[in-house]
Structure 1
Amino acid sequence: MRRHLVIATIVATVVSLMPVAAKASPASPVSPASPANQAGPAGPGELSETRRLPDRRTVVSGDRMYQVGAADGSYPATGWHIRGEMGGFWTPPVKLLDGIWFAVDGRWLTASRFTAGPGYTTTVVGDGIERTDVSPDGQRAALVRLRFRGPARTVTLTAQAHSELLAAYPWGWTTPNAGDTNRPDTGAFDGRNLLFRDGGYTAVVGSSERPDGHRLGAGMRGPQEPPVVCPATDPTPPRCDDGPYGKGTGGELTYTVDIPRTGRDIWFAVAGGDAGVRPAYAELATALRDPAKALRDKAAARKAIAGRTRVEIPGDPLLARSVEWSKQNLADSVQQARDLDVFASHEGRENPPPVGTVRSATWFGAGWPDYPWIFATDGEYTAFAAAAAGQFETAKDHLRALRDISDLVNARSGKVVHEVTPDGQVYFGANADAGNTDESAKFPSAVALLWRWSGDDRFRDEMYDFSVRAMRHVLSLDADGDGWPEGLGNVERPGMAEEKLDVAVYTIRGLRDLADLANGRGDRDTERWATAQAQSRLQRFEREWWFPAGISYADSYGTFQRHWTGLTPMETGLATKEHALPALEQRERPCYTGEFGLFHTGTGPTSAPAGNPGPACDPVVSTVPSERSTFSLNTAVMAVAEGNYGRLDAQRRYTTGNARVQLDPAVWELPGAMPEIAPSPDFVANIDQSFLTRSSVLQAWGAYGVLWPVVHQYLGVDPDLGRGKVSIVPDGRVGVTGRDIRLGNGSADVEVSRSGRAVKVAVDVRVRVEVTIGAVLPAGASVDRVTLDGRPVRYSTVDTNRGREIHVVTTGGRHVLQVVTGTAR
């Protein structure tokens, strides 16, 4: 987790949060009948908040434009990559504005209620005045609607905007840094709109109405004028309005607006980019041509996303709601940029000429506001959530972007880059960098996953050559010839040996998945090679990596430090039950798990100077301190690991942890958004930190720990569409219904119920495949009777990590399997 080292060590105090009540929202601007804070057939509904609005970050995203501000309608200086500049309006790869502010009759509009909806936000900003923000997909523009309700009156409306035209890279500490490259902006009025320029970078701000007047000036920040400027180094004031590298300028537009008794909508747009003035004006014109339709289209797109993977979990409604919002979180994370000029900065120290250009890239942004970029780690974990949500296209595009950029910057070595900004800068992951080896090993697994779920042979074939080269690259890193590749994994902490556990685990899985891809392609030589390589390592794995004194696996070869990556053998299902079960039980103890999930590094004896701040679960003396920060990814990996071994009761603690930081008003910062790090003993809640130091308010990877357990483990959906097969073998202990689970170009419904000793699994598979229907038996249960569609049927029993499973093979369509169990003698 290279990019999180700074965040995770900022603060080390115990979190204490006061409960925050969820309030009713105004009528939805998209679906007037949709009640606040409730899910409905059209999607997750809305979530509202009234407390501490100035302290809450918000994100409103489209695939080519997003904005980050505060829930009260202000735009505080935010983020740390470019200190204080990661908020405002961005169209990758450039920032346009620090913010836009509105006043009515000389009074600045400040929100008293904030509502998050699927793809938009709405705030109550005055008596009878609402503001709705949306970023239409496919446009380098953001829209703001001011809705004035009656009575009839005439008002003076003022809009102020402050520009900050600068690139996503360089950052505050790189060579050169943002202060070296950022140039002063210029402002102008063209008779209707504000125009800001910095070379080819352009921002335009305008409305559907013609203004009465305008002003230009250095400030124009609404109620944040005069600004408090963040210093370049700490300490900082509690809140500031501009970063130390800011060189923007401002403008104001004023309007006389007649409001009829029936009310009136006034639309504003922010548009621009890095291609000059004419394209910026074209984007503005497109956005304002029919803004109401743009909002409706956004709502329709999000309704379509909500329509896939609809679940009901009567015993866990919080988790079911988290599924709904996690699908939207993934959609919120989609980003696109064009003409990426690719170069390796080697952690910001170099600025060489580009080695080539990627014409277009689409990806799941990792996290807002500081990480909305292309990451291999994030994308490879997020692919599992995307598959379960039916969002195949973006997951595929993410892998294409990684391949295209990696092949350019790494000269087709097969090494996967780690971190890329939307202008093409590769911060880490070039051939000359130390890692991350695990990302190359995970690449074939992500390809195989999407091939199995989509049945897309063309995608498999497109990604096959790079997948082969990725695994050959990984195996080439075994300098000492012991079979375990060297290089960095997910955890990058001092004291680790050269061979990391997660690298070893993902190498075995990657080889197996490459063999599967090769089999589908008919490449027998590669299939035999990859299978043999995987098998030779798997035969030695338990003997060489199990660390009995720690009741876990070694974090790196021969070394035990209690990092979360000790879970990866269970997350992938490679661990034997003999070791998996005690290792999982160990991680459930307070040494490793807190209120909201798994710590990054557990507590126990240590030689680190600060000593051990928590309980000890083993006698091993580690060389590193604990890190009791609960990342949503760590918790997700623990949830998946528990589910792989049928431990659904224990798993619920972790699915609930991620769901609560997303949906519990006592915890959330942005309602409905899963953050990067939960409140933890060593990490103060984001809302209680400075805007310059917080972790991501919206992080894509945590959805892995919600969508994958529900769809793959509860419902048991496991497609292999590349071979015309799908397996649906749910855990019969959980009553759950899933509808429109996407399988290739079709879908499936699954309903699991239990009555006494009978488990019923009803499916409707709407794709031409061979279907295996089954159920996981309760521990110790025997089988009395198995029927399919009311008739006795031949079945098989299969012992898996989840337990003993009943399998019945049939065809697609509607079927009902019933398994009546007894007690084993």
Structure 2
Amino acid sequence: MSGRIPLNLTNSASESASMNSAIRSALLSLVFALTIVQSLRSQNDYATPILAGISNHGENKVQPYVTAGDRAYLIGTQDGNFPDMGEHVPGEMGGLWLHPIKLIDGFWATVTDVATNREFALSESAEFVNYPFGNRFRYGAVLDSLEIERFQFSPDGQEGVIVQYSFKNAGARKKRLRFYFSVKTDLRPVWFSERLGITDAQDSVAWQESNHLFIAQDVANSWFSVWGAAHAADAEPIANPQPIHTSGRGVTAASRYSLSVDPQSTSTLTFVIAGSATDENAAVNTYKYLAKHHASLLEKKKRHYASIIERARIRIPDHRLQEVYNWVKVNTEWLVREVPGIGRGLGGGLMEYPWWFGTETYSLQALIASGDFDLAKQTLRLLRNQSMKANGNGRIVHEVTTKGAVSNPGNTQETAQFILTVGKLFDWTGDLDFAKEMYPAMKLGLNWLLTDMDQNNDLFPEGYGIMEVYGLNAELIDVAVYTQQALRATARIAGILNEPGAAQRYQQLASQLEVKINEDFWLDEEGSYADFYGTKAQAISAAEGAIRQIELKGANNLTQRDKELIRYYEHLKLKFSALPA
């Protein structure tokens, strides 16, 4: 092992975490105080506080939210608007997505009292309420005691969303209203699609009089968006509407509706926004189905989230922590993404990472522990299948989009982590059929780790681990440990599947690797394990890579902590440079 030594890139766990933080963004955080909004009689006391929703109390208005569904989801801000948001495709990560395409940037509404000709734009809600199954915007009393709310949800398994406006007349006179609904289309492909030769083009839109709805299409692709108000026979398009200025190549379309509200009564307008990545008729049929069945689909979605909350229940003295636990299960379900032809699995995070990652096997272990075995299996199958298409050698991909494009064929750690997660799932479920299904992928992955990625045959696979630091391409502690656990998991599955020879071979390798990790990675002087085991050149490269990664923020955006870390890594580089060759 001449010239190769164990080394630490960080001087504390907090600095290691600092380099690994913010890999992917999450859309929502649990920062609001819990507010009981309404009682759902069909659910028991355990699920009711979560199903009743959480209020922003009129705060955090420019922060994002999601109306989550496994096929379609809508992202806007808590004031009810749809500004350009996101970084992966700049300004395009919000709005309504039906992966692998986006449908619209958003929608905007205005209401007019016919008697007084007073107009009110629904441009800022007074309160936002988030439910597991949808969202509510309360605009308060407008236009002389007219209370307006907007409720929306995305039915699972359906290619569209429901947006319902309610108008409560708290006054003494009947109100006749005109309602104006504007949509900005933005039919475009998911991030990285240009690598597959897929490009965005201009949108066009037309009013279909027979169904009282709009149909939009990307002129160069078979991408469609359809919307209108269910059962609104008096709907009419507005010619030359005021353009809505958002990013992309979409167009603005608007329509007008009439309704009346008796004193002390409530009327509603229910909009359906649907789409298809392949066929206009499919989009229209989805629109019609949602218009007819939205009420039953909402009840189905409420029952689904009640079952999630009921699964793996805990009761602890700290009720706030118990609520956080239940909301985490809900938040996780919001990230489920299903795309025909690709698969179903847990996505990385909204709004920036709605697709799938090899590193999601970390999250899958939490899913397994909380009893969601089916989603864990679905995600593992998706990763295996997409990895076989992209690599074909057992290597698990790092990142695959909803169009099937792979931006990174996989960091070394992800293959080992995949294998050990399959083992953990079997430990929890005893699902022999799933073990049989995954065993070939486990063996193929280990072969890739211990041949392609172990060029010096020391049982330490080379390559990147979970810390995505430029230049940290050596023999890493996490890769070594996960490979040892992967060997042990595969040995256990081999034994259960009556392959004693393979079981013995994998177990022997696991035992050898365990000894080597404790001997070669341990640093007596620091009382900890080294980050990586490598050459002087690799150590210098890792320090330079850490500095480069921090500086990607730009000189004007560096925090005091960033500057301290840069000085630390510069010192570390000098220390590494002084080591013998």
CA RMSD after TM alignment: 3.2
Please give the secondary structure, in 1, of the residue aligned with 2:572. Answer: coil
Q: How does 1:796-815 map to 2 (within 5 A)?
A: none
Partner of 2:73: 66
Whether 1:207 and 2:183 are equivalent positions in the alignment is no
Note the alpha carbon deviations across 1:357-396, whole angstroms, 9 max, x for none.
Answer: xxxx001011011101011102x01111111222111110
Q: Distance in 2 between matches of 1:297 and 1:423?
A: 29
* TM-aligned CA deviation for residue 542 of structure 1: 1.4
Question: Which structure is richer in relative contact order (CA contacts within 8 A, separation 6 or more)?
Answer: 2
- The reply to whether residue 611 of structure 1 matches residue 561 of structure 2 is no
Deviation at 1:219, TM superposition (A): 5.3
Q: Give matches, 1:197-346, under 5 Å.
A: 197-198=217-218, 199-210=221-232, 211-215=234-238, 217=240, 220-221=243-244, 227=245, 242-243=246-247, 246-260=248-262, 261-314=264-317, 316-340=318-342
Q: Find the counterpart in structure 1 of residue 187 from structure 2.
A: 165
SS of 2:442 mapped into structure 1: helix
1:367 is paired with a residue whose SS is: coil
Cα distance between partner residues in 1 of 2:308 and 2:224: 33
Cα distance 1:6–1:539, how it changes in 2: closer, same or farther (>3 A)?
Answer: closer
Deviations 1:592-621, CA, capped at 9 Å, x for gaps:
xxxxxxxxxxx8998x7x4249xxxxxx95
| Aligned with residue 514 of structure 1, among 483, 490, 509 | 490
Pick aligned residue for 1:184 from 189, 198, 202: 202
Which residue in the other structure is 2:148 paired with? 129
Match of 2:572 in 1: 622
Q: Percent same amino acid among aligned pairs?
A: 28
Equivalent residues of 2:46, 2:310 under 8 A apart? no
For the pair 1:454 / 2:429, whether they are aligned, the reply is yes
* Closer/same/farther in 2, CA of residues 160 and 466 from structure 1, 3 Å limit: same
109, 120, 143: which one aligns with 1:107: 120
In 1, the alpha carbon distance for the partners of 2:474 and 2:206 equals 57
Aligned equivalents of 2:491, 2:20: Cα separation in 1: 39
> Among residues 139, 148, 156, which one is paired with 2:158 in the alignment?
139
| Pairing 1:545–2:521 present | yes
Contact 1:485/1:503 (8 A) holds in 2: yes
Contact 1:168 1:421 in 2 (8 A): yes
Matched, 1:387 2:400: no
Indicate conservation of the 8 Å contact 2:37/2:53, yes or no.
no
Distance 1:42 1:27 in 2: 9
The correspondence for 2:402, drawn from 394, 397, 422, is 422
Structure 1 residues 42 and 465 mapped into 2: Cα distance closer, same or farther (>3 Å)?
farther
Q: CA deviation at 1:8?
A: 4.7
Maintained 8 Å contact 2:109/2:179:
yes
Indicate whether 1:376 and 2:394 are aligned: no
Asked if 1:362 is matched to 2:362, the reply is no
1:770-823 alpha-carbon deviations (Å, 9 max, x no partner): xxxxxxxxxxxxxxxxxxxxxxxxxxxxxxxxxxxxxxxxxxxxxxxxxxxxxx
Whole-angstrom distance in 2 between the partners of 1:21 and 1:485: 44
- The 3-state SS of whatever aligns with 1:326 is helix
**1 or 2, which has the higher helix percentage?**
2
Give the aligned partner of residue 169 of structure 2: 150
Secondary structure of the residue aligned to 2:340 is strand
Q: Find the counterpart in structure 1 of residue 556 from structure 2.
A: none
For the Cα contact (< 8 Å) 1:187–1:216, is it kept in 2?
no
Gaps of 5+ in 1: 11-18, 222-226, 228-241, 341-360, 430-434, 564-602, 614-619, 626-825
Q: 2:213 — aligned with what?
A: 193
Task: Tell me the TM-score normalized by structure 2.
Answer: 0.81
**2:572 counterpart letter in structure 1:** S
Q: Report the Cα offset of residue 507 of structure 1.
A: 0.3
> Could you tell me how far 1:26 is from its partner in structure 2?
4.6
Quote the offset at 1:551 in angstroms: 3.5
1:470 aligns with 2:445: yes
Long gaps (5+) in structure 2? 1-17, 25-29, 113-118, 142-146, 543-560, 576-581
Partners of 1:495 and 1:263 lie apart in 2 by 63
Distance in 2 between the 1:9 and 1:413 partners?
26
What's the secondary structure of 2:567's corresponding residue? Answer: coil
Could you report, residue by residue, the CA deviation over 1:654-681 in whole angstroms, capped at 9, with x for unpaired residues? Answer: xxxxxxxxxxxxxxxxxxxxxxxxxxxx
How far is 1:34 from its partner?
9.3
Amino acid at match of 2:567: G
User: Which residue of structure 1 lines up, in the alignment, with residue 38 of structure 2?
Assistant: 27
Query: Secondary structure in 2 aligned to 1:385?
Result: helix
Q: CA deviation at 1:624?
A: 10
Asked if 2 retains the 8 angstrom alpha-carbon contact of 1:53 and 1:111, the reply is: no
2:63 to 56, 59, 82: 56
Letter in 2 for 1:330: T
1:87–1:482 Cα change, 3 Å: same
If the length of structure 1 is used for normalisation, what is the TM-score? 0.58
CA 1:366/1:530 → structure 2, altered by over 3 Å: closer, same or farther?
same
Secondary structure at the aligned position of 2:309 is classed as: helix
Q: How does 1:726-765 map to 2 (within 5 A)?
A: none
Shift of 1:23: 7.8
Relative distance call for 1:111 and 1:560 in structure 2 (3 A) is farther
Q: Label 1:34 to 1:451 Cα distance change in 2 as closer, same or farther (>3 A).
A: closer
